[in-house]
Chains A and B, each alone.
Chain A
Amino acid sequence: MTSNGTNNGTSHHAQGDTATWTVKAGLAQMLKGGVIMDVTDAEQAVIAQEAGACAVMALERVPSDIRKEGGVARMSHVKKIKEIQAAVSIPVMAKARIGHFVEAQILEALGIDYIDESEVLTMADEVNHIDKHQFKAPFVCGARNLGEALRRISEGAAMIRTKGEAGTGDIVEAVRHMRSIQGEIRRIQSLRDDEVFIAAKDLQVPIDLLREVKRLGKLPVVNFSAGGVATPADAALMMQLGAEGVFVGSGIFKSGLNEPTEAARRKVQGQMAAAIVKAVTHFNDPKILAEVSAEIPDEAMRGISTAQMKPEELLAGRGN
């Protein structure tokens, strides 16, 4: 038990069925219209919660540092995760490597609220993803297109995020992936029922999931945007394109780096975070977006253009 963090059910116990599909997908529904922020330690988690994040994502290094420093990117240190859990009362997510089901087992044992099987970390298995149905904790996975999204859902993902290109501050890939998924959904809706079989074959996805997409006109789970969001305008753009919420990584804790002191840097990072939260709420109101955009620090994340990167530097191709 901690003073600020979630209690661990010592006084009240679940009275019913836990870890059902409704309960797993349901937490993602509660996060909608919100911003999930990457954090590497408790101090950043507190800044994120204070700014209005609806959840935090624990990871070892923010993507732009993974990009710069190279090496193997793994699950966060367990001590860091526990410190983050103790510091905030909002849901705490954490990243595991693609296919690394033992990292996922450890995260579940820690009581992580959502596990992100993430292409941002180094892959542990270049063939198989984690069998996510075997876990009580829900999973979110990245996707570039409808085929990837439905394959992850068939493996047990209860939430999807478009991949974008993490750690770049360049929104172009996030836009590409969101338009791809939304466009493919519209195409599926236009098919006759007897044409869905061949579409499932082409997309390499289960026919039942594709029929559900045709019926719903959307993915059967919540779909956020991720990878390259660096400003309130970027976040609102993704919402207008159909994202149900936004993940922000390096865009917050790599902003304001020219500030003279650590305290000043933290302050402007908090302002950036709060401005993105407000922009996601009022994503359709340009007047409010203009006001909110005036509140952000002069120095947004510098970023790198994905068009100038070599194909092997792109993370989004991992795990298709």
Chain B
Amino acid sequence: MPSTSAPASLPTSSVTPALRIGVLALQGDFAEHIVMLQECGVEAVEVRTEAQLAEVDGLILPGGESTTIARLLIAFGLMAPLRARLHEGLPAWGTCAGAILLAKTVTNLDRPPLAVMDITVERNAFGRQLDSFEADLDIKGVPGEPLRAIFIRAPIILSVGEGVEVLAALPDGEIVAARQGNLLATSFHPELTHDRRVHELFVRVVEAARRTTTG
């Protein structure tokens, strides 16, 4: 194989490496997020170790079982390094179980969450699987027609702290999407649809964060 380094004639200084977004791959629907990110044109990688975590510009915490993911974060020593990176400003987006893990306060989770986002979340807020549902939802920052939102044994955001923007709510008023700086939380699963608009929103957040830190 010839050398893979760029020829000297290319102005390498102006070439920005592709955005690399990780998906926490301990358990859950991480493969669906990877596909959506690839369709957005960014490099998408599974994150299971501290070394993999260190190499990403942003991180999605997928849907799955929050009790399982919390235990695996603890068992493999990822809680502290992940929390540290999030405190440093690593952009992150949690869908469903991921939103639960980002929250400062969670009702009915038997392990402490990452507690980096100033929201209070209730697990399984609508009940069991029979109460899972899908509905059209308007989301701030996602222009165009409403997004088809899939709620599976979904949590809700009971309250948000100062500096947290509510992005979407259900007709009865439950908050189901919020943003605090570089952190996004949604109760629903855009990765179960073919609608990339929330993923594109997150990619823009990651892009802006990288410009700020490198520029």
Contact = CB atoms under 8 A, between A and B. Distances in A.
Given A15-B135, A17-B134, A113-B129, A26 B152 contact: yes
Contacts of B71: 51-52, 274, 277
Given A12-B156, A14-B151, A34-B27, A136 B130 contact: yes
A67 to B, nearest CB: 29
Interface string A147-158: 000000000000
Interface string A1-38: 00010111111111111111011001101111110000
Given A49-B67, A89-B123, A14 B131 contact: yes
B134 A33 contact: no
Q: Identify whether the interface residues of B are mostly helix, strand, loop, or mixed.
A: loop
A51 B111 CA distance: 12
A146 interface: no
Contacts of B97: 30
A137 B129 contact: yes
B44 interface: no
B125 A11 contact: yes
Contact of B134 (A22, A90, A113, A136): A22
Nearest to A29: B29
Interface class of chain A by DSSP: loop
Given A6-B128, A55-B65, A111-B127, A15 B170 contact: yes
B130 A7 contact: no
A91 interface: yes
A32 B33 CA distance: 13
Contacts of A90: 65, 67-68
Contact of B172 (A15, A18, A136): A15
B124 A7 contact: yes
Contact of A52 (B32, B67, B152): B67
Interface residues of B, number: 49
Contact of B68 (A23, A108, A277): A277
Contacts of A31: 64-65
Contacts of B174: 12
B75 A23 contact: no
Contacts of B150: 22-23, 26
Interface string B13-39: 000000000000111111110000000
A317 B59 CA distance: 45
Given A15-B170, A89-B67, A113 B128 contact: yes
B159 interface: no
Contacts of A137: 129-130
Interface string B175-215: 00000000000000100110000000000000000000000
25 contacts: A6-B124, A6-B127, A8-B127, A13-B126, A14-B132, A15-B135, A15-B170, A16-B133, A16-B151, A18-B130, A20-B134, A23-B129, A30-B28, A30-B29, A30-B63, A32-B31, A34-B64, A34-B65, A52-B72, A54-B64, A55-B65, A89-B124, A91-B129, A113-B129, A281-B48
Given A23-B134, A27-B152, 17 more contacts: A9-B128, A14-B131, A15-B172, A17-B133, A22-B150, A23-B133, A26-B132, A27-B153, A30-B29, A30-B96, A32-B28, A32-B64, A33-B27, A52-B68, A52-B72, A89-B67, A90-B65
Nearest 7 Cβ contacts at the A-B interface = A16-B135, A9-B127, A113-B129, A16-B133, A14-B133, A54-B65, A52-B71
Interface of B: 25-32, 48, 63-65, 67-68, 71-72, 75-76, 96-97, 108, 110, 123-136, 149-153, 156, 170-172, 174, 189, 192-193
